Amino acid sequence: MEILVILVPLALALGSAGLIAFLWSLRSGQYDDLDGAAWRAFADDEPPQQAPTSASASSQS
């Protein structure tokens, strides 16, 4: 039964990792458009997105 000392923390760690991943994905807005996300999987290529905002800000100044 000593194996529990390893397995129980391991299981909890995996579970927490899942929870943290979920909270992160929620925070980054990945559940905001579920209909769109379903279709995006079929898109051939993502259009160019997200020009680095910090770089654009510094080039402006």
Partner 1 sequence: MQVTRDFSHYVRTAGEGLQHIDLAVEGVHCAGCMAKIERGLSAIPDVTLARVNLTDRRVALEWKAGTLDPGRFIDRLEELGYKAYPFETESAEATEVAESRFLLRCLGVAAFATMNVMMLSIPVWSGNVSDMLPEQRDFFHWLSALIALPAAAYAGQPFFRSAWRALAAKTTNMDVPISIGVILALGISVVETIHHAEHAYFDAAIMLLTFLLVGRFLDQNMRRRTRAVAGNLAALKAETAAKFVGPDEISHVPVAAIHPGDIVLLRPGERCAVDGTVIEGRSEIDQSLITGETLYVTAEQGTPVYAGSMNISGTLRVRVSAASEATLLAEITRLLDNALQARSRYMRLADRASRLYAPVVHATALLTILGWVIAGAGWHDAIVTGVAVLIITCPCALGLAIPTVQTVASGAMFKAGVLLNAGDAIERLAEADHVIFDKTGTLTLPDLEVMNAADIPADIFALAGRLALSSHHPVAAAVAQAAGAKSPIVGAVEESGQGVRATVDGVELRLGRPPFCGAETLVGGATLDPEASIVAFSKGNEKFILSVRQGLRPDAQAVITALKARNIGVEILSGDREPAVKAAAHALGIPEWRAGVTPADKIARIEELKRRGAKVLMVGDGMNDAPSLAAAHVSMSPISAAHLSQATADLVFLGRPLAPVVAAIDSARKALHLMRQNLWLAIGYNVLAVPVAISGVVTPLIAAAAMSGSSILVMLNSLRARSASREMA
Positions in the binding site for partner 1 (CB under 8 A): 1, 4, 8, 11-12, 15-16, 18-19, 22-23, 26, 31-36, 39-40, 42-44, 47-51, 53-54, 56-57, 60
Q: Are 31 and 25 in contact, with CB atoms under 8 Å apart?
A: yes
What is the separation of C-alpha 11 from the centre of its chain, rounded to a whole number of angstroms? Answer: 21
CB of 22 to partner 1, least distance (A): 5
List the structure tokens of 60: 């402006």
Smallest gap from Cβ 51 to partner 1, in A, equals 5
Give least dist CB 6 to partner 1, A: 14
Q: Rounded to the nearest 5°, which phi and psi values hold at 45?
A: -145, 145
